[in-house]
Amino acid sequence: MTDNFDDYDAFASAGLRLTVDLGALVENWREMARRSGSARTAAVVKADAYGLGIEDIGETLYSAGARDFFVATADEGATLRLYAPEARIFVLCGIWPGMERIFFENDLVPIIASEEQLTFWMSVLSDYGDYPCALQVDTGFNRLGLPMEDALALADDVSRPASFSPVLVMSHLACGDDPSNAMNRQQLDAFRKVSAAFEGIEASLANSAGIFLGPEYHFDLTRPGIATYGAEAVPGMANPMRPVATAEARIIQTRSVRAGETVSYGRALQLTRDSRLAIVSAGYADGYMRSQSSAGVPLRQVGIAGGQGFIAGHKVPVAGRITMDLTIFDVTDLPDHLVRAGDYIELFGSNIPVDDAARAAGTIGYEMLTSMGLRHERRYISEETEE
């Protein structure tokens, strides 16, 4: 007897699978470009494109027209260069001694964000000559960036080398996702001073949330990240973005459990009725966070509801504690024939927004997307989108 495995479909049989809708991705990016008005719109693809795969995401956004990209590390930039051959690729963590080769060979633009990096970069320019960079200025975030006074002094320093030629000056909003926060206006006013001091150099302030704050925040280049991937940029505001990622897990087993019995580690959940449970192949090792458990974790003690899945047209709650590789869902309210071993439950996607899943875990959509492990079998789908 000869077995034929040629028709094996890894996605169809995977315990965990992730569908990435590239058509929705492009539509979201174009929507952010539309909202950016006259400003050009970059694509932020750091952290492996928010967990969705920098190769496919980068190539898709480049094909859609993105020509400015932001990555966190030089290694990410080198990978992206293969898929965005003519793009400007900015590296947010900047450059350090020993990294010159990867920057120069892959035509990456370092973002200079500290006095130490600036000193080193000046020495690089003295050895290698002109090479573009970007300059990040701290306008109140107190994370990366030259202090305002140092940046303004640098702009006025007539002795700075002619080879020091930033192509972009930028800063980052601390409270852009809170439109009423006074910090937004304070940072805008500070950044206007910086932009004016570096006259003739492009300026960038707005991330996804900043784009929604309005045209005065847009300057020359906007940097949408999370909104491009379909998640909320501004909590409490209706999300106009299309969902991009759908995570699903296979049901390994269903079981009937009597009222009074307990479920999962620590006996944290005691059933109050005869129940039917579905055990699925996803756990916190896959980014389906333990804090989404329905019982036995601190968030449940403060009244925040636990996680939910979606199957057969219905939302179903997590039952008990989520474990490393497995999660239990209570499917008691669904007819038996609708939930069987081998079926898939949506963990987040079109029916369970990633931000809702994140709230149940006490976190944000960013972390949900970027925390997904390596065991998801990925499928990228495309659709025609109008220009």
Quick one: 160 and 298 in the same domain?
no
Quick one: 218 and 114 in the same domain?
yes
Per the DSSP assignment, residues forming a β-bridge with 257 are 275
Quick one: 265 and 350 in the same domain?
yes
With CA atoms as reference, report the closest residue to 229 among 18, 11, 16: 18
Tokens of 12: 């169809």
The pLDDT of residue 384: 52
Quick one: 356 and 213 in the same domain?
no
Quick one: 208 and 270 in the same domain?
no
- Residue 239 in any domain: the answer is no
Q: What angle in degrees, to the nearest 10, is found between the helix axes of 54-64 and 74-81?
A: 60
- Residue 30 in any domain: the answer is no
Quick one: 66 and 210 in the same domain?
yes
Percentages (nearest 5) of helix, strand, coil residues in the chain: 35, 20, 45
Q: How far apart are CA 357 and CA 347, in angstroms?
A: 8
Q: How far apart are CA 367 and CA 357, in angstroms?
A: 11
Quick one: 154 and 298 in the same domain?
no
Quick one: 186 and 97 in the same domain?
yes
CB-count exposure of residue 258 (10 Å: 0-12, 13-18, 19+): exposed
CA 207 to chain centre: 12
Q: How far apart are CA 264 and CA 294, in angstroms?
A: 11
How many C-beta neighbours within 10 Å does residue 42 have? 28
Q: How far apart are CA 252 and CA 325, in angstroms?
A: 11
- Residue 372 in any domain: the answer is yes
Quick one: 254 and 196 in the same domain?
no
Q: Is the overall model pTM greater than 0.75, yes or no?
A: yes
What is 17-68 written as a DSSP string?
A: EEEEEHHHHHHHHHHHHHHTTTSEE-EE-HHHHHTT-HHHHHHHHHHHT--E
Tell me the CATH number at 61: 3.20.20.10
What letter does residue 270 receive in the DSSP assignment? E
With CA atoms as reference, report the closest residue to 213 among 187, 195, 194, 231: 187
- Residue 267 in any domain: the answer is yes
CA 306 to chain centre: 22
From 193, 223, 253, the end of a domain falls on 223
Quick one: 171 and 68 in the same domain?
yes
- Residue 231 in any domain: the answer is no
Quick one: 120 and 194 in the same domain?
yes
Domain containing 202: what range?
37-223
pLDDT per residue as tens, the chain (387 positions): 456 666 778 898 899 999 999 999 999 999 999 999 999 999 999 999 999 999 999 999 999 999 999 999 999 999 999 999 999 999 999 999 999 999 999 999 999 999 999 999 999 999 888 899 999 999 999 999 999 999 999 999 887 887 888 999 999 999 999 999 999 999 999 999 999 999 999 999 999 999 999 999 999 999 999 999 999 999 999 999 999 999 999 999 999 999 999 999 999 999 999 999 999 999 999 999 999 999 999 999 888 899 999 999 999 999 999 999 999 999 999 999 999 999 999 999 999 999 999 999 999 999 999 998 889 999 999 975 443
The pLDDT of residue 106: 98
Q: How far apart are CA 253 and CA 154, in angstroms?
A: 64
Cβ contact 279:338 at 8 Å:
no
**Structural domain count, the chain:** 2
Tokens of 352: 């369970």
List active site positions: 46, 265
Quick one: 58 and 161 in the same domain?
yes
Tell me the CATH number at 350: 2.40.37.10
